[in-house]
């Protein structure tokens, strides 16, 4: 097994996480600005469909457990990055 597919799996997970958390951030911002509550529900369904679609595609392609593990690590890395980007200056998590 070469390292390139493993790096690609990590980057794909990071990309999925970036899209997921961007949608989450945008929906929370809209809600805080006075958008109706149903927009949060639509956002949650969109994010769920996104993640489940990627998982289904991964299983259909027959990716190995190592690829799936690296994709999850990429997703979690995107979460940590998103948290760092939106935290208030001078405040440590």
Q: What is the pLDDT along the chain (93 residues), one digit of tens a residue?
A: 689 999 999 999 999 999 999 999 999 999 999 989 899 999 999 999 999 999 999 999 999 999 999 999 999 999 999 999 887 766 665
In a domain, residue 33? The reply is: yes
**Cα–Cα distance list, 78 to 14, 17, 33, 37 (Å):** 5, 5, 25, 26
**Residue 51 lies inside a defined structural domain of this protein:** yes
Residue 36: domain span: 21-84
Place of tokens 């690609």: 8
pTM of the model: 0.85
Alpha-carbon distance 58 to 43, whole Å? 23
Q: Is residue 16 part of a domain?
A: no
Q: Report the C-alpha gap between 75 and 70 in whole angstroms.
A: 9
Asked if residue 1 belongs to a domain, the reply is: no
Residue 13 falls within a domain, yes or no? no
Establish if 40 belongs to a structural domain. yes
Query: What's the pLDDT at 4?
Result: 94
Number of domains, the chain? 1
Asked if residue 91 belongs to a domain, the reply is no
Separation of alpha carbons 51 and 47, rounded Å: 6
Within a domain: 32: yes
């Amino acid at each position: 097994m070469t390292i390139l597919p493993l790096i690609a799996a990590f980057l794909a997970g990071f990309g999925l996480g970036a899209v997921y958390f961007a949608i989450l951030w945008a929906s929370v911002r809209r809600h805080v600005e006075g958008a109706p509550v149903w927009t949060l529900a639509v956002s949650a369904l969109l994010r769920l469909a996104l993640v489940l679609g990627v998982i289904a595609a991964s299983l259909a392609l027959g990716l190995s457990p190592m690829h799936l593990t690296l994709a999850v690590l990429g997703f979690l890395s995107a979460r940590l990055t998103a948290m760092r980007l939106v935290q208030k200056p001078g405040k440590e998590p």
